[in-house]
Structure 1
Amino acid sequence: MTDTDDDRQAATEAQAADWIIRLGGTPLGPEDQRSLRAWRAASPAHEAAFRRASALWSDLDVGGWQKKTRRRRHAAAAATTGALGCALLFAGLSAGWIDAPHWFADYATAPGEIRTVRLADGSIVDLDSRSALAIHYSATERRVALLDGSAYFKVAPMIGDEHRPFVVAAARGTATALGTQFMVTRDAGGVDTTVTEHSVRVATRNADNLPRSVIVPEGQRAHYDPDGTLGMAQAAPVAALTAWRTGQLVFDDAPLSRVVAHLNRYRRGRILLMGRGLGERRVSGVFSCADIDGAVTTITRELGVKTITLTRLATVIY
């Protein structure tokens, strides 16, 4: 399937989701009903997408929520149910359910898995949950590509017969080891390089193909955006950032949106946020990587918010 086909299918699925959400709320008027019939009849793909969305929506009738919506007994319940349906449909239809970067990896971890691998030169890599790494060693360079997630590197030094620099490529930048231990994290927000021993040179090229670099010393980290825009090195809470290596997740006054994004790397399915301003609520605490459901229970209790589990696909915090 081409990119154009993918885009067309995604648009069709989004339109189907929109129709289903509208059907779950205020009854459609005659004109909207004619528009829906025309849209479904316009293409077999439209009808198939509508049926898939309808089946997914039917799973949302938890405790009579859907009936409450249709009967419009409570406006608040209707708004909540519609948003829940939209959230689940978006999650189910988005590419986020599929770890595509892992298809191209030499080493990859599943949700909840933390793995240590030894590379050919003796370097050791700890891979965080849902992370992917590709190896591209050559005669002149020890290059690895971080495709997704986090990796902690203990680099074999350039001594004896080993003369090749160790380089971690991620998105539009690289981290070249000038010492031995550092961590690189890649997600939708960009790339972070955190140094725990000696230093690392981080280099990028921005959208205009202009190069920039910074030396990151021990105890600091540098961030660059997906477009390659590189910031300055800054002090970092190294112990908290690398706590996953010992099975812990540490958050200190972090926004809930960031916490949820991190928790999602450790479980199958998705945790979703629903509610204006909810993602900005602050979270502090130490949680077990092996008990994400327990973390959700603790966080929601502390914040005074609620959760609902929709089949096995999603848990919604609202």
Structure 2
Amino acid sequence: MTESVDDRQDRIDGEAAAWVIRQGGAPLTIEEQCAFAAWRAVSSDHEEAFRRASSLWSDLDVGTRQKQVTRRRQIGTGVALGVACIAVLAMQGDGGWLNLDRWRADYTTATGEIRTVSLPDGSTAQLDSHTALAIHYGTAERRIVLIDGDAWFKVAPLGATEHRPFVVEASHGTSTALGTQYMVERDSAGVRTTVTEHRVRVVTRTPDGLTHSVVVAEGQSVRYSRDGALDTPQAAPVDAMTAWRSGQLVFDNEPLSEVIARLNRYQRGRIMLMGARLRDRRVSGVFSCSDIDGAVSSITRQFALRSVSVAGLATIIY
């Protein structure tokens, strides 16, 4: 995927903000000094972003709230968002992404935590890192709301004592069990349902009020976007996709940008790629959910890259 102009600028602004914050801590090591010099030398855009981020950080450090708002407007939202995102990460004890909806969850997991919970009907849910579920069981249905993250469900089947369908709601769609085992994943782009046993009916609703429905078979997955647009079910590498349940992350020839996005779910701070040329490198490997630093080391060795950690808030791969 080609990096858009806006995405490129956001990335550079975020990297600049990370370097500014890092320089406010302990003195840079020789390796960090070299990495910083290499980053600034990439282009004049990097140099200019660092200058703006330095100016903004100075204002944030000593100015009043009104001065901060005025300054942000003057220099543009890109750098402000970069600094704000790093600051939010620093303030969160969990080290995860700020999602106020998590306050209404019945079950949550912290960053790096994988947890299995028993539901009121005898079903079980295994929650991936930084996941949140809300339980809404009634007389007509057993509804689970996936607020954030990924969860795998083993559903207590319908029978003489259980007549209510089991439904997982996420964004503008639902996944209703026609069997017993499936996984639902929610990210910034949308939702993916993967069936590990029997079948699941996925239904979405688009902003224009139209409803779309598909039955997903065992060994398949289907995605729908945040606006309810539903894709066609595809065969899925189920074992690899559910490997997190046993504490592993499995990648088979996947873009480095997607691998990094996945690794970011399992640790405090953020991993960032420096340079659009790295995004499409293909990665294959098996990594431990509990050793993300080891995964980064393995990836950097594989591609002869380097990495530098910025004050525990970010790791930059270049």
Distance in 2 (alpha carbons) for counterparts of 1:153 and 1:232? 22
1:69 and 1:81 in contact (8 A); partners too: no
1:191 aligns with 2:191: yes
Question: Which residues of 2 match residues 12-91 of structure 1 at below 5 A?
Answer: 58-59=24-25, 62-63=28-29, 75-76=41-42, 89=83, 91=85
Distance in 2 (alpha carbons) for counterparts of 1:222 and 1:284? 23
Higher mean C-alpha displacement, 85-94 vs 215-224? 85-94
Question: Which residues of 2 match residues 220-235 of structure 1 at below 5 A?
Answer: 220-235=220-235
Distance in 1 (alpha carbons) for counterparts of 2:258 and 2:119? 31
1:214 aligns with 2:214: yes
Higher mean C-alpha displacement, 252-261 vs 85-94? 85-94
Identity across matched positions, percent: 53
Question: CA shift at 1:222, angstroms?
Answer: 0.6
Distance 1:198 1:314, change over 3 A: same
Distance 1:300 1:101, change over 3 A: farther
Distance in 2 (alpha carbons) for counterparts of 1:246 and 1:296? 20
Higher mean C-alpha displacement, 93-102 vs 276-285? 93-102
Greater relative contact order (Cα < 8 A, sep 6+): 2
Distance 1:257 1:61, change over 3 A: farther
Question: CA shift at 1:280, angstroms?
Answer: 1.2
| 2:173 corresponding residue in structure 1 | 173
Q: Could you state the TM-score of these two structures normalised by the residue count of structure 2?
A: 0.76
Distance 1:270 1:164, change over 3 A: same
| 1:117 corresponding residue in structure 2 | 117
Amino acid at match of 1:98: L
1:181 and 1:196 in contact (8 A); partners too: yes
Amino acid at match of 1:211: T
1:137 and 1:143 in contact (8 A); partners too: yes
Distance in 1 (alpha carbons) for counterparts of 2:160 and 2:172? 32
Q: Give aligned pairs, total.
A: 271
2:35 and 2:308 in contact (8 A); partners too: no
Q: Deviations over 1:188-229 (max 9, x none)?
A: 121000001110000001121210000000000110011110
Distance in 2 (alpha carbons) for counterparts of 1:64 and 1:81? 20
| 1:145 corresponding residue in structure 2 | 145
Distance in 2 (alpha carbons) for counterparts of 1:71 and 1:244? 37
SS where residue 261 of structure 1 aligns? Answer: helix
Q: Which has the larger radius of gyration?
A: 1
| 2:236 corresponding residue in structure 1 | 236
Amino acid at match of 1:89: V
Amino acid at match of 2:298: T
Q: Could you state the TM-score of these two structures normalised by the residue count of structure 1?
A: 0.76
Distance in 2 (alpha carbons) for counterparts of 1:68 and 1:82? 19
Amino acid at match of 2:250: V
Distance in 2 (alpha carbons) for counterparts of 1:265 and 1:144? 22
Distance 1:108 1:165, change over 3 A: same
1:144 and 1:167 in contact (8 A); partners too: yes
Distance in 2 (alpha carbons) for counterparts of 1:219 and 1:185? 15
Distance 1:75 1:288, change over 3 A: closer
What is the CA RMSD across the aligned residues, in angstroms?
3.3
Distance 1:142 1:67, change over 3 A: closer
Amino acid at match of 1:248: Q
Distance 1:171 1:64, change over 3 A: same
Distance in 2 (alpha carbons) for counterparts of 1:207 and 1:284? 38
SS where residue 280 of structure 1 aligns? Answer: coil
Distance 1:216 1:71, change over 3 A: closer
| 1:10 corresponding residue in structure 2 | none
1:162 aligns with 2:162: yes
Distance in 1 (alpha carbons) for counterparts of 2:220 and 2:36? 54
| 1:92 corresponding residue in structure 2 | 86
Distance 1:147 1:165, change over 3 A: same
Question: CA shift at 1:59, angstroms?
Answer: 3.8
SS where residue 185 of structure 2 aligns? Answer: strand
SS where residue 277 of structure 1 aligns? Answer: helix
